[in-house]
Amino acid sequence: GGGGGGAVGAHGHRPISHQHRRHQVLGKEGRGAHPPRQRQHQRHPRPRPPLRHHHRRRQPFLPLRPDVAQRQVFTLGKLMNVKEDHGELSSIARQGSGSACRSIYGGFVKWCMGKNNDGSDSIAVQLADEAHWNDLVIIIAVVSSKQKETSSTSGMRDSVETSPLLQYRAQTVVPERVLKMEEAIKSRNFESFARLTCADSNQFHAVCLDTSPPIFYMNDTSHRIISLVEKWNQSEGTPRVAYTFDAGPNAVLIAPNRKNATILLQKLLYYFPPQDNDLSSYMVGDKSILSDAGLKSIEDVEALPAPAETKMPSQKFKGDVSYFICSRLGAGPKVVTDESLALIDSVTGLPKGV
């Protein structure tokens, strides 16, 4: 971009511009910047030249905006020497995307509501790092990577203005539920964690339906995944897996250990086999879970028995899931010091290969 602009790209394309949000983020970063020590005592420091930047993202798994916002804030914070005091970076990230403020830190993060009318104290704080509960395995079913019909920002604004259920939820349900969730995380109580996670996800989408006009983030595939998990959990008498859906149809499924994760994957692939025979590309991230689940070829998928909790012959939905991701709790963004891992050429300042 020209002047003080930047080239922000992912998936090989320039994303939809959100100039107002970008200017908010850059403006707040600039106000929090600390000049290098050797320049602090200059009587007439030179004006800072316009900043130009390239953003490059590897592994385009999930919807872009929260991912881009938190990485931009972290990177610009390092570039402009912004000190992370009392959640300042988290507050800045929230200007770009509400979800982004949670991703500045790793592990388990709490997004505080805050009390100030301008939202300046609505920041994220880390409850526990990624090592606290490292047995958890996360499987994400990417049902759709298409642009949402209703953005989470405009959707939430409509819900605040029109949903009575949201007001009840905020005043009555959430405060107690947050305390219970903090305790479940602290004690690594998966049963409590799973029940709270599923209930809160379902109530969030109930608020979406209570909004005028109603907002439909989930689709039939999302509902089938919920049904799969609920039937399994009920048949076992205790939660084996938790599910949660953000403002979209993609399912985030959390298992307490590797064993439950492999059983979950078998059930998922029974109902949602890949569209073609390329099993390897159907799983992104930790592909070793496929072999742990005994799934080394498409023939292994086709030979999977129906889940025990299935009472009658069930339909399969080939191609309804685009792909799966297997992952774990991660750390927040970090500075890469190994030049070979950098996506930007340190000499030209351009993306490598350009």
Residue 131 has pLDDT above 50, yes or no: yes
For the ranges 39-48, 103-112, 117-126, 197-206, which has the lowest average pLDDT? 39-48
Average pLDDT, stretch 52-59?
Answer: 59
Return the bridge partners of 251, or none.
141, 245
| Start-to-end Cα distance in the chain | 15
Strand 283-285 with 251-255, pairing: unpaired
* Both structure tokens of 42: 């200059």
DSSP string, 150-193: S-HHHHHHHHHHH-HHHHHIIIIIHHHHHHHHHHHHHHT-HHHH
Per-residue model confidence (pLDDT) at position 31: 53
CATH number of the domain that residue 98 is part of: 3.30.230.10
Average pLDDT, the chain: 80
Per-residue model confidence (pLDDT) at position 242: 99
Q: What confidence category does residue 124 fall into, taking pLDDT thresholds of 50, 70 and 90?
A: confident
Q: Is 64 helix (H, G, I), strand (E, B) or coil?
A: coil
Q: What confidence category does residue 337 fall into, taking pLDDT thresholds of 50, 70 and 90?
A: confident
CB atoms within 10 A of CB 284: 16
Whether residue 313 is found in the same domain as residue 284: yes
- Sign of the alpha-carbon dihedral angle for 151, 154, 157, 159: negative
Q: What confidence category does residue 298 fall into, taking pLDDT thresholds of 50, 70 and 90?
A: very high
Whether residue 146 is found in the same domain as residue 251: yes
Per-residue model confidence (pLDDT) at position 194: 99
Cβ(217)–Cβ(248) below 8 Å: yes
Whether residue 60 is found in the same domain as residue 120: yes
d(CA 188, CA 278): 37
Whether residue 157 is found in the same domain as residue 266: yes
Whether residue 110 is found in the same domain as residue 149: no
For the ranges 55-64, 72-81, 171-180, 281-290, which has the lowest average pLDDT? 55-64
Average pLDDT, stretch 298-304?
Answer: 96
Per-residue model confidence (pLDDT) at position 156: 77
d(CA 207, CA 87): 29
Residue 8 has pLDDT above 90, yes or no: no
Which residue in the block uniquely carries the two structure tokens 């949602």? 272
- Convert the pLDDT of each residue in 217-239 to its tens digit: 999 999 999 999 999 999 999 99
- Convert the pLDDT of each residue in 316-326 to its tens digit: 999 999 999 99
Whether residue 313 is found in the same domain as residue 185: yes
d(CA 243, CA 235): 16
Is pLDDT larger for residue 92 or for residue 199?
199
DSSP 100: G
d(CA 57, CA 42): 38
Whether residue 150 is found in the same domain as residue 275: yes
Single-letter residue type at 255? A
Whether residue 107 is found in the same domain as residue 210: no
Average pLDDT, stretch 61-85?
Answer: 57
Whether residue 1 is found in the same domain as residue 118: yes
Per-residue model confidence (pLDDT) at position 88: 66
Estimate to the nearest angstrom the gap between the alpha carbon of 134 and the chain centroid: 18
Average pLDDT, stretch 94-112?
Answer: 75
Angle formed at CA 25 by CA 22 and CA 29, multiple of 5 degrees: 140
Residues for the chain: how many in total?
354
Percent of the chain with pLDDT over 90: 50
Whether residue 97 is found in the same domain as residue 204: no
Q: Is 258 helix (H, G, I), strand (E, B) or coil?
A: helix
Estimate to the nearest angstrom the gap between the alpha carbon of 65 and the chain centroid: 10
Which residue in the block uniquely carries the two structure tokens 């009318």? 117
Helix axes 152-162, 190-210, angle to 10 degrees: 70
d(CA 159, CA 137): 32
Whether residue 267 is found in the same domain as residue 352: no
CATH number of the domain that residue 263 is part of: 3.30.70.890
* Count of structural domains within the chain: 2
d(CA 305, CA 309): 11
- Sign of the alpha-carbon dihedral angle for 274, 276, 277, 281: negative
Single-letter residue type at 115? K
Q: What confidence category does residue 60 fall into, taking pLDDT thresholds of 50, 70 and 90?
A: very low
Q: What confidence category does residue 14 fall into, taking pLDDT thresholds of 50, 70 and 90?
A: very low
Q: What confidence category does residue 84 fall into, taking pLDDT thresholds of 50, 70 and 90?
A: low
Cα dist from 118 to 22, 122, 155, whole Å: 18, 9, 19
Whether residue 156 is found in the same domain as residue 300: yes
Largest CA distance in the chain: 81
Residue 140 has pLDDT above 90, yes or no: yes
CB atoms within 10 A of CB 61: 17
* Highest-confidence segment of 262-271, 301-310, 336-345: 262-271
Domain of 124?
1-130+337-354
- Nearest 5°: phi and psi at 141? -95, 110
Average pLDDT, stretch 90-98?
Answer: 63
